[in-house]
Structure 1
Amino acid sequence: MDPRLSGGYLTVDLTAIQKNYQILKAEVESSECAAVIKADAYGLGASEVGNALYRADCRKFFVALPEEGISLRKSLPIDAEIFILGGLFIDCEDLYIKERLTPVLNSLDEIRIWSELAHDHGPLPALIHLETGICRLGLMAEDIEELKANPHWLDGIEVQYLMSHLASADIPASEQNAEQLDELHKLIANLPEGLQHLPVSFANSSGIFLGKEYHFNLVRPGVALFGANPTPGKANPMNPVVQWQGKILQLHNVDSQKPVGYGATYRTGQKSRIATVAIGYADGYFRNLGNKAYCTINNKRVPVVGRVSMDMITVDVTSLEEEDCKRGDLVTLVGDDITLDEVAKQAGTIAYEILTSIGRRCYRRYLTDGV
């Protein structure tokens, strides 16, 4: 993409991602730290992010879908391990073997299928997922009883980790965290004897900050790598990673009481200068940010006024000097002192959704110090 032709830029600081990985790795001390880079590394580019994390000594990567794993395999060195959280997809099992992808086995059916494949291909690696309270994927207590009665279903499977997933880790006071931890210990104790002493992976980004008892052997941070706050209500320990900017297309000097944008949801209270910026909801800037959000121009805050439209937003730049705000200048939507979490809160959502919604019309550029 020619950046001159785009309406805006998404700048991704790969060095900041590496620093965030090291922060999280230090937090868990002796436990290993993987990286969750599903959904194209939360919209930031799985190949670029994956390689930056590899250079920071990360060797274990989690994605959601086999297609994501196949794509990532092409860009990472051969010793990188890639785990598929979504499990074994029907009629795709041979691809996992061909592309060296390790499935997270979420059901007894998947366990049996993987074991049958191992009869022909030799021992095959896997993780086994235990369902502890989020009710999405994984073996439940009754499944474990059935597995104990049929231990041969595990023949040929090299189980590398047992895993589960926290549902409320971003709410430290939630009783569900301790309940899930207790359930995980109970399920592990009831597994076939050969599985009871395997390494365990439990904590996600926020789970890392719940305490050592949640760390086990392998943690799986995702959104914290990309600068979102894994400790809501406290200072963000992570470095900012993204800067999202849009180009000013035009500026208007308008009288007071003039309507701005669709539906006339905003009227100027005085003579005003309005900048039209080439970012809209088609680029992932949520429609409900209209009349709520702020941007920055040269590190000065200016409000988004009127509705967000498909390709444009309008910003009141009356407070700025004209020479500081011209056609072609950049308006920062996320970055400077506009944090990812602030925009998410204004949009009534979470940082995950903001990141994964940023559209491909924005030119992506990557910063690195060569590490």
Structure 2
Amino acid sequence: MQAKLTIDLAAIVANWRALARTEETAAVVKADAYGLGLAPVAKALAKAGARTFFVAQTEEGVALRNVLGPGAEIFVFGGLMAGDEAAFRDFELVPCLNSIEQAQRFAVAPTGRYALQLDTGMNRLGLEPADLGHLPDLGSPVLTMSHLACADEPDHPQNAAQLSCFQEIAGTGRRSLAATGGTLLGADYHFEMTRPGIGLYGGLPFAAAQPVVTLSLPVIQIREVAAGEAVGYGASYVADRPRRIATLSAGYADGLIRAMSGGATLWAGDTPCPLAGRVSMDLLTVDVTEAGAPEWLDILGPHQGVDALADAAGTIGYEVLTSLGGRYARSYTT
């Protein structure tokens, strides 16, 4: 029996609306809509009124165009890579040009409209301020953007430093600096467009987000374990007293990463059930002593969101979402 992953599209739409701070609120749907399914998520957002979308790679842009058809504006963060010119032209994608080399490539083979991505201090993607005087004549961009490195930490001094740099070099017109964290920093960071990502899917730093995912795992077997007996690989868990241990059908092959071992909690209704031992490729072992004989346990749901589960694994909610595997029986609610 497959584990069940339920995705609440209405919650995604509600989160997008709740994050609307400007006249134009885009939606970031890269990485298969953060692991939750590009087609259903993008269709739901478009139906709700989203007209502007961001993806990371050319292939994602092509897939999104095939989902949404004409009309939607699709930006590609990675910009115009060599060999992708035809795809940008044929599918009306907008490259976020990140370097002099990409700008020169666009000048030689213009694909339509373009955006400029500026580096304001993150040193990851984007044109340095000194590059701007050496750009070929491309006409005006349809968007000038940058990205904040520390927006999840509102008091971090780099936020103000990047804002000041962006104000100095971005000029006028249509501008975007804020993803989810930047949106929550306030109006100074909003400019003409915000582009929330993780907040749409129920993740921090949007603490007021509606929860989006429920992940329920089936119990294969329950056994009695005596005090002193070990459970799982490496005998890393040893029962301190008689315990009832359930074996569940899911593991790190399903995106429940091994770092959760010894720290994660699952839920039988309102009863917490701690993980017992290491996460295996296809199996989890869970202490259900206080829960009777459950047939299903939730690892994501009303009692535990993606960020709480991420904390147990020493990671972030982004990784939990984007790691969710392909073996789940997925369903969508509206």
For Structure 1 versus Structure 2, the TM-score category normalised by the shorter chain is: over 0.9
**Contact 1:61-1:82 at 8 Å conserved across structures:** yes
Instruction: Report the Cα distance in structure 2 between the residues aligned to 1:77 and 1:301, rounded to whole angstroms.
Output: 45
The corresponding residue for 2:25 is 33
What is the letter of the counterpart of residue 304 of structure 1? L
Could you tell me how far 1:144 is from its partner in structure 2? 1.2
Instruction: Report the Cα distance in structure 2 between the residues aligned to 1:222 and 1:185, rounded to whole angstroms.
Output: 23
What is the letter of the counterpart of residue 20 of structure 1? N
Counterpart selection for 2:304 from 318, 328, 338: 338
What is the letter of the counterpart of residue 336 of structure 1? P
What is the letter of the counterpart of residue 130 of structure 1? L
Matches within 5 A, 1:258-277: 258-277=229-248
The corresponding residue for 1:203 is 178
Counterpart selection for 1:103 from 95, 106, 121: 95
Spell out, residue by residue over 1:2-44, the C-alpha distance to the aligned partner (whole angstroms, 9 max, x if none).
xx4x2x121110000000011001xx1x331001110000100
Question: Which consecutive unaligned segments of at least 5 residues does structure 2 have?
Answer: none
The corresponding residue for 1:290 is 261
**SS at 2:114 equivalent:** strand
Show structure 1 runs of 4+ deviating over 2 A.
115-118
Could you tell me how far 1:145 is from its partner in structure 2? 2.4
Instruction: Report the Cα distance in structure 1 between the residues aligned to 2:235 and 2:327, rounded to whole angstroms.
Output: 27
Matched, 1:132 2:126: no
Instruction: Report the Cα distance in structure 2 between the residues aligned to 1:297 and 1:168, rounded to whole angstroms.
Output: 37
Matched, 1:239 2:210: yes
What is the letter of the counterpart of residue 72 of structure 2? A
Aligned-pair identity in percent equals: 40
Instruction: Report the Cα distance in structure 2 between the residues aligned to 1:112 and 1:56, rounded to whole angstroms.
Output: 37
Could you tell me how far 1:77 is from its partner in structure 2? 3.4
**Contact 1:223-1:352 at 8 Å conserved across structures:** yes
**SS at 2:153 equivalent:** coil
**Contact 1:34-1:219 at 8 Å conserved across structures:** yes
Instruction: Report the Cα distance in structure 2 between the residues aligned to 1:362 and 1:158, rounded to whole angstroms.
Output: 46
**SS at 2:32 equivalent:** helix
Spell out, residue by residue over 1:70-129, the C-alpha distance to the aligned partner (whole angstroms, 9 max, x if none).
1111111311111100000111112100011110011122222223324xx7xx211101
What is the letter of the counterpart of residue 277 of structure 1? L
**Contact 2:211-2:302 at 8 Å conserved across structures:** no
The corresponding residue for 2:133 is 145
Matches within 5 A, 1:176-187: 176-187=158-169
The corresponding residue for 2:325 is 359
The corresponding residue for 1:154 is 137
Spell out, residue by residue over 1:222-276, the C-alpha distance to the aligned partner (whole angstroms, 9 max, x if none).
0100000225xxxx11000001121111110121111011111111122111100
What is the TM-score normalised by the length of structure 1? Answer: 0.88
**SS at 1:305 equivalent:** coil
Instruction: Report the Cα distance in structure 1 between the residues aligned to 2:251 and 2:168, rounded to whole angstroms.
Output: 49
CA RMSD of aligned residues (A): 1.2
The corresponding residue for 1:24 is 19
**Contact 1:299-1:336 at 8 Å conserved across structures:** no
**Contact 2:176-2:190 at 8 Å conserved across structures:** yes
Instruction: Report the Cα distance in structure 2 between the residues aligned to 1:142 and 1:255, rounded to whole angstroms.
Output: 68
**Contact 1:111-1:154 at 8 Å conserved across structures:** no
The corresponding residue for 1:224 is 199
What is the TM-score normalised by the length of structure 2? Answer: 0.97
Matches within 5 A, 1:52-201: 52-118=44-110, 124-147=112-135, 153-155=136-138, 157-188=139-170, 196-201=171-176
The corresponding residue for 1:15 is 10
How many residues align? The count is 334
Matched, 1:313 2:295: no
Considering only CA atoms, is the larger Rg found in Structure 1 or Structure 2?
Answer: 1
**Contact 1:161-1:201 at 8 Å conserved across structures:** yes
What is the letter of the counterpart of residue 37 of structure 1? V
**SS at 2:178 equivalent:** coil
Instruction: Report the Cα distance in structure 2 between the residues aligned to 1:288 and 1:136, rounded to whole angstroms.
Output: 27
Instruction: Report the Cα distance in structure 2 between the residues aligned to 1:244 and 1:133, rounded to whole angstroms.
Output: 38
